Structure formats: C-alpha cells, structure tokens
Structure 1
C-alpha cells in the first residue's frame, strides 16, 4: 500500500505535470489548485479557466500499454465535445487547447472548461435518472467512432481479478473463485457484440456514459451538466442504470417513453447490475495505489457476497 507521504508526492507530481503541460500549450498558469484527488487529480490552472484531469489510479494494462489509455481519453474528449457542440448540457473540453490528451512525465491528462459549480448536498436523483434518458437520446446519433464494446467491463474486471489472485489479504480466495466463475458466465455477452445481440436481440447497442451518469452531474447556476465520460463505451443503456432500483427504472421509463426510447429490458439490467457488482470487487486490485478503497469498497463487496451467485444470463 502506498503511504500517505507517497500519495502526497504523487499528487504533487501530477499538479506539476498539469501546470507544465498547460504552460506548454500557451495557458497562463500561476496558481495551480487541486479541486479533487481520488482516482484522478483534478487541477484548476488558475487564472486560466481550465481544469485538468490527471488520472493516477489506473488498471494494469494502461501501464503496460499506455496507448490504450490514450485511446480511451480520446473517446472521452470526442464524445463530450460532440455533445457540447450540439448544445447538450455537458462539461465541455477546453476550447483553449486542442481536444487531445497530453502525456507528460508518466501522466496522461485531459483539459476541460472550468464551470461554476454550485454545492448540491441533496440532488434529486429520480429527476437525474430521468435526465439519463435525454443523454441516451442524444447519444443515439453518435456514430461511435473509436469506441470499444463495453471497454470498462472487458478491461477492469478480468485484469482486477487476475491481480487479486496475488492479493489474498484483499479478497478471500473463495470469493475470488466465485468472482471468476461469475465472470466466466457474464464475459461472453459483455465482450462480444455479436454474442450480446444474439442473446438480447431487442436491446440495441449505442454510445453510453459507462459510469453512473446520475452520480456524475455537476450543478451550476444554469442547470446540471453531465460530466466524467472517462468510461464512455458502446453498450446497452441498462449499464447506465445499474443499481438505481425500481423507482429509478420507473422514472427512466417515463422519460424514455416521452423521447421515443425503448423501456428498460429487465434481463439486460440484471446482467449489467451483476457486472457492476463484479467490477466493484475487481476494483479492490487498485487498493495498493489507493488505500481508501479497502474500507470504501467493503460494503459493496459484502453486498455482492449477499447476492445469489450468477450462474446464467
């Protein structure tokens, strides 16, 4: 596990790299300020109206093949930029620099427009879930250039489980064997578009947010903006609705009906929720680089243990 001093040193290096990259791109940077620091260090390059996302906690493949991270970041910028260009409520890439990830000193980073965030301690989640239908309606027209098929599931889950095989202190071997069995059941439909579509012919595939969009919205004086498209991918819309519960599904279906979208397919939802729980288990593999995950993920791992094992899709 990284120590507190090592985590602080990593943050310092990420901030310095973001500031230097911003200056190289012609931005005025005199007071770089950390806004957030968990999986990524989010840096405001004051006084420029630019925010830099510097991912610091990554799946193993990104270290071995950094071009995979660059490709995913290009997709993130492309989709968010495409939505912004068409007037959809999204945090846009910064217009002051090219829409390209920048690699510097071991970090790969993206540049975003600073927005005026308003504190929102009690967001209306049902309304937000209804707004997801608007996002899906918008993304139906995105042609998906460069997007992989359920890239987060196909990357994070098998890699995380493989790493956890060497970390019995983080996940009991019996739990690991169950997780591996579940992934063997789920992976055929989550890693092959052809298999998914033959198994769920009415579901359809499109660009989706990929990471609980209802929890990744920023409130501003002009309304809420979708943000954090780091896991954008091709998949079924149910993946963006995992764990919202019956009320959430009902709210989505009402909004979807108004927009001419299909209702939630309960079979697909069960599969994506099972994959979401498994992704939380696999995320324990990143705990050595982010120790707070050990306690943060414990309730989710316990919830997964309490659910029946997935034996079929």
Structure 2
C-alpha cells in the first residue's frame, strides 16, 4: 500500500474507532474527501469526521495549537448553528470537542446533503460572506486569537523550506523572508495592527475565503470549513477575490450597514495570503500534488513588485 493510501486507511480506521467509542453505530465508513484531511462518513450514523492528515509545521511542532484551533472552529460553528444560521454544524450526537485517536486529532460534524452545482454563484456567495461578517460581529470568545493561523504557519513553513531547495529556489525564499519581515509585525500583534489601521474593526472571521468554502444543500448555501477561524479584519476573508469580487462584497456589506473594505488592509492581507501559499509548499513532501497546485499562484506572486508595506 502506498504511503498516502496507508495514511488514508489509518485515518479511516481511527475515525471509525473514535466514533464507536463515542457510542455511534459505525458499519460502513466511507471516504468523502481526501486531500489535506480525510473526511469520513461514519455510515449509517449521520456523522462526518474530518481527520487532518497533512499538517503544517506549526501543528506538528505544536500539537496543542491544532487542538486549540479545532476547539475554536467547533465553538464558532456551534454558536452559528445554535443561533439558526446556515452553517454545517458540529454533530449533536457527540460532545463539541476534538478527539485524539491513534495520533490523529479529529472533529465530528453533522452529515448534510450536498447538491452538486456546475458552477457556484460567486456573487451570491460574496454577499453571503458579508452576511457572515454581520453575524460574527456579535460573536465573542476570549480564546479566539488574533490572526492565529498566520502567526506560526508562515514562519514555520519558511524555516522548513530552507532544507527543501528543490521545492523553492533560494531567491524565492529570500524574497518571502523579506516580505514577511514587513508583514509579520502587523499581523502578529493586534495592537500593532490597530496603530497601523486606526478605525478598522477586528472581529471573528472565517479565515479562509468563505465564498469558496460553502456547501450547496437542498435548503440553500451553508457556510463550511472554519478550520482557520480567527480574529482579524474582514478584508482577510475577501483577499484575492479580485477587484470585481471585492466590489460585490462591498456593495453587499454597505447594504447591511457594514463598512466597505479598506484598500490598504487588502494589500496587507493579500501579501500575507501569498506568503501563506509559499509556506504551504513545505507540506509537499506529504502531499506532492501541492507543487503543481500552487505554481500558478507562485508565478503570480513572483510577477508582482516586492511588498514593502500597505
């Protein structure tokens, strides 16, 4: 069995074992998705388990950081579900806590019926992103960190890439480090961010392009995949949506009484997002398809001027 196939089999076995220990009926576990995580339906129970298997260095070096982020995800999605908002909710059949089993830290979700669509309605989803921000403006959690995924993900990834010159040339790594030296002081400190951008509110955000992370169900579009949920500016959720996408979001936000996006903040979060893409190459030894998948984004990054500040 190939390494990735063995990893998937171990993840499925761990999910099934954890489900049974929690009292679920598990007869035919079925893989729904397998890239960074193995997503398993514990049939016949209406429960889906997400088992992260390809991890950034920030989680392999600090397992407690992964657990904290998973708890944050379960808390915010549970809050959204409890308040009647359209979100894929944690499973009501088990406690809202990550479960560690056989070396994997996993989360349990309610099975929802997904309706295949040929092409998602990006305009509608960007409007839904504004609605999500309006809702999350009322969410408070003292354990939710400021831009938590960025703080260690990028520097740990860049450090790992030092020993992987076949994945990222030295010139690219040097550029990434120089840009990160400009980005890092602002994205790793809420006080520094607020000094740089007075009047730009910080709130709970999805953290990972929510307009790409939605599921179409018979009841409509559901928000999903809050793995990078954090405190931050709303611009972080629309970074790299393109000028038309940002304009669509701004129009929807204004209708809801929210502020339009700030161009300077957008420049910062897009630079941070590009560096996160560079850093993710450090996971390519675990997931070789990443090399080809991120190359268009890397080419775009290389073609832009060096980021020297917002």
Structure 1 length-normalised TM: 0.98
Task: Tell me what 1:12 maps to.
Answer: 9
Corresponding residue for residue 295 of structure 1: 292
The 1-side partners of 2:309 and 2:99 are apart by: 42
Q: Structure 1 residue 63: deviation in Å?
A: 2.1
Tell me the matched-pair count.
310
Q: 1:187 matched to which residue of 2?
A: 184
After TM superposition, give the deviation of residue 62 of structure 1 in Å. 1.8
**More off after superposition, 187-196 vs 152-161:** 152-161
> 2:163 corresponds to which residue?
166
Q: Does 1:230 align with 2:230?
A: no
Contact kept in structure 2, 1:19 and 1:32, CA below 8 Å:
yes
Question: 2-side partners of 1:135 and 1:169: how far apart?
Answer: 40
Contact 2:202 2:231 in 1 (8 A): yes
Residue equivalent to 1:241: 238
- C-alpha separation in 2, matches of 1:246 and 1:85: 34
**Could you give the per-residue CA deviations for residues 129-170 of structure 1, whole angstroms, max 9, x where no partner exists?**
111010000000111331111112112111110100111100
8 A Cα contact 2:268 2:309, kept in partner: no
User: CA–CA distance in 2 between the matches of 1:213 and 1:130?
Assistant: 11
- Regions of 4+ moved over 2 Å: none
- Please say which of residues 152-161 and 207-216 is displaced more in the overlay: 152-161
Counterparts of 1:228 and 1:85 in 2: how far apart (Å)? Answer: 17
Question: How far has the Cα of 1:254 moved from its partner?
Answer: 1.3
Contact 2:59 2:66 in 1 (8 A): yes
Which residue number in structure 2 is paired with residue 98 of structure 1? Answer: 95
8 Å contact kept, 1:144–1:206: no
- In 1, the alpha carbon distance for the partners of 2:89 and 2:18 equals 19
Distance 1:74 1:57 in 2: 19
Q: Pick from 103, 123, 126: which aligns with 2:123?
A: 126
Report the TM-score, using the length of structure 2 for normalisation: 0.99
1:63 pairs with one of 60, 63, 70: 60
For structure 1, the residue ranges without an aligned partner over 5 or more in a row are: none
CA-to-partner distance for each residue in 1:213-264, whole Å, 9 max, x for gaps? 0000000011000000000000000000011111111111111112111110
Could you say what secondary structure the match of 1:36 adopts? strand
Any residues of structure 2 matched to 1:297-312 within 5 Å, and which?
297-312=294-309
1:274 aligns with 2:276: no
| Whole-Å separation in 2 of the counterparts to 1:251 and 1:305 | 27
Deviation at 1:202, TM superposition (A): 1.7
Partner of 1:253: 250
Match in the other structure for 1:219? 216
C-alpha displacement of 1:288: 0.4
How many Å separate the matches in 1 of 2:308 and 2:243? 23
* 1:87 maps to which of 84, 88, 98: 84
The answer to whether the Cα contact below 8 Å between 2:58 and 2:153 also exists between their aligned partners in 1 is no
Give secondary structure in 2 for the equivalent of 1:32.
strand
Structure 2: gaps (5+ residues): none
- Shift in Å, 1:204: 1.0
User: What is the alpha-carbon root mean square deviation over aligned residues?
Assistant: 0.9
Q: Secondary structure at the match of 2:284?
A: helix
